Amino acid sequence: MRVLYLLGVLLFLFSMPVPGRGGLIGAAQRYYCRMRGGRCALLSCLPKEEQIGRCSLRGRKCCRRKK
């Protein structure tokens, strides 16, 4: 019976999101950015691009070419 508790705890620990990866919210934001025709930029958008949103909670920007 103790083995089942140990397996439950290990399953819980491995299902936790890894710090810096963003988890489910970050994945949804990246998907929404690509749906809108953008790309995720690490620091800032290129000069011929405009920011249309965010790709993560940490500050990655969603950029697309200016119209």
Return the pLDDT at 19: 60
pLDDT score of 59: 81
Q: Specify the residue for token string 């963003």.
A: 22
- Please give the pLDDT value at position 67: 76
- The confidence score (pLDDT) of residue 39 equals 92
Give CATH for domain 38-67. Answer: 3.10.360.10
Q: Exposed/middle/buried for 48, CB within 10 Å: 0-12, 13-18, 19+?
A: exposed
- Residue-range domain boundaries for the chain: 38-67
Tell me the whole-structure pTM to 2 decimals: 0.60
How far is Cα 37 from Cα 63, in angstroms, rounded to an integer?
9
Segment 2-55, tens digit of pLDDT: 788 888 888 777 776 656 555 677 788 888 999 999 999 988 899 999 999 888
What is the structure's pLDDT at 35? 92
